[in-house]
Amino acid sequence: MVDSLLGAVELGLLYAFMALGVYITFRILDFPDLTVDGSFTTGGAIAAVMIVHGYSPWLATLAALAGGMIAGLCTGLLHTKGKINGLLSGILMMIALYSINLRILGKPNVSVMGEDTLTSLVRPLYVMPVIVIIVKVLMDLFLRTDLGLALRATGDNSRMIRSFGVNTDNTTILGISLSNGLVALSGALIAQYSSFADASMGIGMIVIGLASVIIGEAIFGSGSVFRATLAAVLGSIVYRIVVALALRVDWLDASDLKLITALIVIVALVFPSIRRHYKQRNSARKRTAALAQQVMKSQKGGAADAKAR
Amino acid sequence: MKKKRIWLGISLCLMLVAAGCGSNNNNSGAGASSAPAGTVGAAGTAAPDTKTYKIAVSQYVEHPSLDATYDGIIAALKDAGIEEGKNLKIDFENAQADQANNLSIAQKIASEKNDLVIGIATPPAQALVQAIKNDTPILFAAVTDPLDAKVVTNLEHPGGNVSGASDTNPEAITRLMDFIATQFPNVKKLGLIINEGEPNAVVMADKAKAALDKHGIELVKAPITNTSEVKQAAQSLVGRADALYITLDNSVVSGVDSIIQVANENKLPFFSSDRDTVEKGAVATVGFKYYDHGYQVGQMAVDVLKNGKKIGDLPVTVQQKLDVILNLKAAAAQGVEVTDAMKAAVTDQANDIIQ
């Protein structure tokens, strides 16, 4: 039990980069980017193929990051310069990447079993927290620079930031590119961790990414950028723990797995809003009571005061 | 406020742990300490029937062939007196075609104590071999190319703690192509509906092409990326091919009904790679039932569990029982005249000629 929970934390940390990537597009740019399903596999494919060909896993992982950034760049160009609707440009890139990924892999499934990989050199559980925190802090710092602020403003109020002379096309392209770079990095690490890259490994990734971001926000809040990126990382871990636990519910059939995962996520999301609702009702009641008291006081006038003395 | 949120998260997790543990009373504190696999009854002496076995199975997706494989495994165990509910506890998991779940399942299985672990299809086999660090025996089923997937390094003598069965007998494809070339002289172009994203399909298509080249028959491919595109791909081959062929391609096999429809409407003989599809309405194949394939893996499991054999000493098996399987009803629907020579090619005529 403890072992598989640790494993879930490990997986969550490896998927955390993807959650951060999805946070950039989904929350900062307000851009629903479906490229993720393709670029995740791109990262895994580049890393696996390079490792099999004898390159160092460090170089392979960096190349995967670059590959993901190029994929994001293409989506950004389609959307900004090609004036294609955001959702559609992501979808187009996603289906184009399916074929491109097969080209990169050369066959549908490339195994790196027995090769030296980043995750075989050292157990990810010990180093990943540090690396994830470093990446998260770097991202926080970047979002505080002028360029980062312009990026955030692009999602919030593009008209305003354009009036300040910022080219929102460029900030959009940069954001999507960064996001998919992080996603591909995640894919590269997962491919090394699971010892194979598969043409179907990215399918459903965007759902996991969104779930991670939203669960994180529901549980850990999203008041500031610092908090929101932390929430994305923790949300990714919580999501993997949820799946690990869903697998342990014995009286359910194997075919119920996705349903259970969905239900648990729904509970996590609905619970805070129910609590908020009751809180509001309580505070409303208190206020009504307080007001009523005041009214009573003012009606009784000074008599009550005199009694109190 | 923030503190409360974190408490909420923690309590949610605790609730789940309770749900998980409440129904799972056999693995508290399982993990690092695992009994070596070789201790299941000394060689030569059959283990007493009082022993309870615990096995875990990870299947990649709900799919007719893979489901039949699982049924075959269970049947072989049952025939050896290892039966669920009596002396066998099975933890069956299905990743529902999701790689991330596939990894989580492998981790979960690795964290528990099992006498034996089985992976059905390539991705679960790979994930289990990677996740299980102790010497729990791992069997794989329905893996097309175990060497390419790197789940074993040697087919004859795998060593280590992994062995299993490959679901292709390279001979099967060659024999089917020979059968088509000799019995269907009109077929000059064979249309193949294929998902190039599936490892097993690509391996088999290459073998088929090599065999067809010898007969001077051209292989025309119609690619798909998911099951919903199968019918369109089949229709695109009408006029471009003289017959249709599919490999053990999961997404194509799932949409096989639409291929049968197209084949019947256009009088194109349709050849498959598995018996189940011939029973459904393909004209012929050289193959086997996935149930038999599973049964073979189940027998390997019995060898490991009951007969005290070391898994590393069991060679990786290919499907043994191969035969031409012919469907007469489908032949009539697809305008094929069944000759005596075709029937003569079938060894086990009682079982393998489907009326």
Establish whether domains B53-167+290-313 and B170-288+321-354 are of one fold. yes
Chain B, window 330-349: residues with a beta carbon less than 8 angstroms from a chain A beta carbon: none
Q: Which of A72, A79, A85 shows the shortest CA–CA distance to A169?
A: A79
What is the model's pLDDT at position A308? 55
Interface membership of A100 toward B (CB under 8 Å): no
| Structural domain boundaries in chain B | 53-167+290-313, 170-288+321-354
Highest mean pLDDT among A115-129, A174-188, A274-288, B321-335: A174-188
What is the model's pLDDT at position A200? 86
Interface membership of B194 toward A (CB under 8 Å): no
What is the model's pLDDT at position B10? 52
What is the model's pLDDT at position B46? 46
Residues of chain A contacting residue B120, judged by C-beta atoms under 8 Å apart = none
Q: What is the mean pLDDT of chain A?
A: 90
pLDDT at A309 over 70: no
Would you identify the CATH topology of the domain B170-288+321-354? Rossmann fold (3.40.50)
What is the model's pLDDT at position A304? 52
What is the model's pLDDT at position A248? 79
Among the four given CATH numbers 3.10.520.10, 3.20.20.70, 3.20.20.410, 3.40.50.2300, the one describing domain B53-167+290-313? 3.40.50.2300
Interface membership of B13 toward A (CB under 8 Å): yes
Residues of chain B contacting residue A202, judged by C-beta atoms under 8 Å apart = 99
Question: Hey, are the CB atoms on B96 and A240 less than 8 Å from each other?
Answer: no
Strand B284-287 versus strand B323-327 pairing type: antiparallel
Q: Which residue has the higher pLDDT, A232 or B36?
A: A232
Domains parsed from chain A with CATH numbers: 2-248 (1.10.3470)
Token reading at B334: 């697809």
Tell me: the pLDDT tens digits for A244-303? 888 877 777 777 878 877 887 788 778 778 888 888 899 999 999 999 999 988 887 655
Question: Hey, are the CB atoms on B104 and A2 less than 8 Å from each other?
Answer: no
What is the model's pLDDT at position B39? 35
| pLDDT per residue rounded down to tens, chain B (355 residues) | 445 555 555 554 444 444 444 333 333 333 333 333 333 333 344 445 578 999 999 999 888 889 999 999 999 999 999 999 999 999 999 998 888 899 999 999 999 999 999 999 999 999 999 999 899 999 999 998 899 999 999 999 998 999 999 988 878 999 999 999 999 999 999 999 999 988 889 989 999 999 999 999 999 999 988 888 898 899 999 999 999 999 988 889 888 989 999 999 999 999 999 888 999 999 999 988 889 999 999 999 999 999 999 999 999 998 877 889 999 999 999 999 999 999 999 988 888 899 8
Tell me: the pLDDT tens digits for A17-60? 999 999 999 999 999 899 999 999 999 999 999 999 999 999 99
What is the model's pLDDT at position B32? 33
Q: CA–CA separation, A1 vs B307, rounded Å?
A: 30
Residues of chain B contacting residue A204, judged by C-beta atoms under 8 Å apart = 98, 100
Task: List the single residue in A with minimal CA-CA distance to B63.
Answer: A255
Interface test with A, best of B33, B93, B98, B112 (most A CBs within 10 A): B98
